[in-house]
Amino acid sequence: MLLSRLAETSAALAATRSRLAKRDLIAAVLAGTAPEEVEVVISYLSGSLRQRRTGVGWRTLQDAPPPAAEPSLTVAEVDAAFAAVAGLAGTGSAAARTAAVRDLFGRATAAEQRLLAGLVSGELRQGALEAQVQEGLAAAFGVPVAAVRRAAMLTSSTTTAARLLAGGGLPALEAVGLRVGTAVQPMLAAAAPGPEAAAERSGLPAVVDAKLDGVRVQVHRDGHAVSVFTRSLDDITARLPDVVAVARSLPHERLVLDGEVLALRDDGTPEAFQVVASRTMSATDPAPGGRPLRVFFFDLLHVDGRDLLDEPLHERLAVMETVVPAALRVPRRTCADVAGVATAFAEAVAQGYEGVVVKNLDAPYAAGRRDAGWVKVKPRHTFDLAVVGAEWGHGRRQGWLSNLHLAARDPATGGFVMLGKTFKGLTDELLGWQTEQLLAREVRRTPGTVHVDPPLVVEIAVDGLQASTRYPGGVALRFARVLRYRPDKTPDEVDTLDTVRALGGPLRAGEEQEG
C-alpha cells in the first residue's frame, strides 16, 4: 500500500467529527490492506510507529528537506526505514539517523511528511483514538467490535488483534485468553465531582477504595518469574525489586494483580506522587536510600489457572481476600447508602489519601475503558491538561519558562483547546525542570512565548470554571495551580473539554483569573 493512501485517510479523519464517518474511513482503508501490512496500517491509524523509540526528535524533523512532488513510498518501506533507524547505536549513529530520516522525508510528499512527523512525535492530530480504530477494524472484517476489543485488551495491542483477525478471522480472536506475563490493558475510572454523584453513577451498595496517589502497576507471577507493568504497559520489573519480592511471597504460583505503588511517610500518610514517580518512571533510582516503595493491591484478575476478568467485582474481591493479606490490600469498605460513601470519602481525605474510587459490586473488569463500574472522587477539581506552551518569567523567574499555557483535548479532532494559563504552584526545582523539558519540545516562538509539541501532561487544581470569550473552548480556569507533572500519562490521556466542563462546576461570568 502506498503511504499516500494513509495520508489521505489521516487528513479525512481530521476533517470530520462524526464517529461513524471515522469508522467508515478506517474500515475502507483496511479493506484494501494486504494481510502482511495490517499491523503497520493499524499502528499508523492509531497514531504511532511500531517502533516505540527511534531516537528521532523534533529538531531533526524541523530540518526535513523539501517534499517530493509525487508519492512513491510504501507503508512497508516506511516501517522498514524506522526499524533500521531504531536499531542504530554507537559511534556515528546520530549522524546516520539524521541522514536516514532526511532521505525518508525527501521521498515523501507534503501530506506524507505531515503524517510521518505526527507518527514520529506520537502527536498525530486526526481524532482517531484506539477505540475508533477498533471499530473500523471490526467493520472492515465484519466481526463484533466487542471481540476486537477483548482480544486487544488481552494481548495489550490492537495491532496484534488485527494480525490475528487478518490471519484467522473471528475464531482467532475468540481463542485469545488472558496470558500470565502479558500485560492487560487496565480498567480506568470515570470521574464525579463528589461522593453523592459517584454513588449515583456507580450504584449502591458499592465498595469504596481509598484512592492512592502512587504509580499504577499490574503484577504478573508465573512461578518464580515476576513481571511488573505500568498503566501504559511498560515493563518496570527491574526498578521494583520490593514488589517482585512481595509477589513471590504470596502462596500461589500464577497470579495477575492490579495495584498501586507508593511510599509512606513516618506517620503512615502517603508520600507525594513525584517521589514515587521519579523512582519508578526513570531507568535509575535518583534517590537511593529513600523511603521504601510499597505495593497495595485492589483487584485480582487471575489465580492459578482461573481467569477472573468476567467475574463480578464482589467475586473477585472474595477470592482476593484468600490470596492477598490484608496488609497488602488497599483500605476499603462496603457502603450501603450515600451517607456511607460520603463518610468514607471524608475519612480517606483526612488520612492523606487523594480521594476514593467508588466501585460497583457487580461490575466485571472493563479493561482498557473508563467505565461507570469505577468512579473516582477527589476533594477538589483537578484535571490532567496539556502544556502546549509557556511564557518566559520575569523578576526572580527571569530565564525560566514560567507561565504555562494549559489545554484540554478535543476528542473529535485529537487537537488541544486552550483553557488558561498559570504560574502558580511551581517551585524553583520544578521551574528548572520544566524549562529544560519544554525547550526540548520547542516547535516555534512568538514574542515572549515558547510553543511546544508534543506537550507535557500536568495535573492542575482549579477552584472552578467561568464563561470566557478569550479562549476557543468558551471557558476559562479559575485560580489554576500546578499539582504535579504526570510522566506516566500520554497526551492522549489529557482530559477532554467535555470532561472539564462537566466537572468544573457551574460557570461564572466575569474576567478570567489566571496566573
Instruction: State whether 134 and 54 are in the same domain.
Output: yes
Instruction: State whether 359 and 417 are in the same domain.
Output: no
Domain that holds residue 137: 3-174
Of the candidates 119, 140, 174, which is a domain's last residue? 174
| Mean pLDDT computed over 360-389 | 88
Residue 292: per-residue pLDDT? 79
Comparing 133 with 282, the larger pLDDT belongs to 133
Residue 281: per-residue pLDDT? 59
Instruction: State whether 143 and 33 are in the same domain.
Output: yes
Q: Which range has the worst mean pLDDT, 173-177, 281-285, 299-303, 319-323?
A: 281-285
Instruction: State whether 361 and 215 are in the same domain.
Output: yes
Of the candidates 318, 353, 377, which is a domain's last residue? 377
Q: Which residues are catalytic?
A: 211
Instruction: State whether 364 and 405 are in the same domain.
Output: no
Establish if 164 belongs to a structural domain: yes
Residue 285, pLDDT above cutoff 60: no
Establish if 131 belongs to a structural domain: yes
Query: What CATH number has the domain bearing residue 34?
Result: 1.10.3260.10
Residue 122: per-residue pLDDT? 72
Contact 336, 344 (CB under 8 A): no
Structure confidence at residue 125 as a pLDDT band (50, 70, 90): low
Instruction: State whether 318 and 436 are in the same domain.
Output: no
Query: What CATH number has the domain bearing residue 301?
Result: 3.30.470.30
| Mean pLDDT computed over 93-118 | 94
Work out whether strand 370-377 and strand 188-191 pair parallel, antiparallel, or are unpaired. Answer: parallel
pLDDT digit string, tens, across residues 194-221? 999 999 999 999 999 999 988 999 999 9
Residue 60: per-residue pLDDT? 76
Instruction: State whether 372 and 390 are in the same domain.
Output: no
Comparing 139 with 473, the larger pLDDT belongs to 139
Establish if 179 belongs to a structural domain: no
What cell was used for 360? Answer: 460497583
Residue with cell 508465573: 222
**Rg from Cα positions in the chain:** 23
Residue 185, pLDDT above cutoff 50: yes
Structure confidence at residue 395 as a pLDDT band (50, 70, 90): low
Establish if 226 belongs to a structural domain: yes
Instruction: State whether 10 and 158 are in the same domain.
Output: yes
Residue 173: per-residue pLDDT? 96
Q: How far apart are the first and last CA of the chain?
A: 50
Residue 397: per-residue pLDDT? 86
| Mean pLDDT computed over 12-23 | 89
Establish if 292 belongs to a structural domain: yes
What domain count does the chain have?
A: 3
Residue 286, pLDDT above cutoff 50: no
Structure confidence at residue 462 as a pLDDT band (50, 70, 90): confident
Give the C-alpha distances (Å, rounded to integers) separating 283 from 57, 121, 244, 245, 263: 20, 21, 17, 19, 18
Instruction: State whether 354 and 386 are in the same domain.
Output: no
Across the chain, what does the average pLDDT equal? 89
Instruction: State whether 27 and 142 are in the same domain.
Output: yes
Establish if 40 belongs to a structural domain: yes
Helices (H), 241-312: 241-249, 273-280
CB 380: neighbour CB atoms within 10 A?
11
Structure confidence at residue 507 as a pLDDT band (50, 70, 90): very low
**Helix count (H) and strand count (E) of the chain?**
17, 18
pLDDT digit string, tens, across residues 221-266? 999 999 999 998 999 999 999 999 999 999 999 999 999 999 877 7
Instruction: State whether 78 and 102 are in the same domain.
Output: yes
pLDDT digit string, tens, across residues 468-505? 888 888 888 888 999 999 988 989 899 999 888 876 54
Q: What is the 8-class DSSP label of residue 35? A: G
Kindly report whether the global pTM for this prediction surpasses the value 0.75: no
Q: What percent of the chain has pLDDT over 70?
A: 92
Of 306, 319, 295, 314, the residue nearest 373 (C-alpha)? 314
Helix or strand or coil: residue 375? Answer: strand
Query: What CATH number has the domain bearing residue 470?
Result: 2.40.50.140
Establish if 199 belongs to a structural domain: yes
Of the candidates 321, 345, 377, which is a domain's last residue? 377
Establish if 508 belongs to a structural domain: no
The DSSP bridge partners found for residue 303 are 255, 306
Instruction: State whether 386 and 363 are in the same domain.
Output: no
Residue 506: per-residue pLDDT? 44
Q: What percent of the chain has pLDDT over 90?
A: 67
Q: Which range has the worst mean pLDDT, 65-79, 244-258, 261-275?
A: 261-275
pLDDT digit string, tens, across residues 25-53? 999 999 999 999 999 999 999 988 999 78
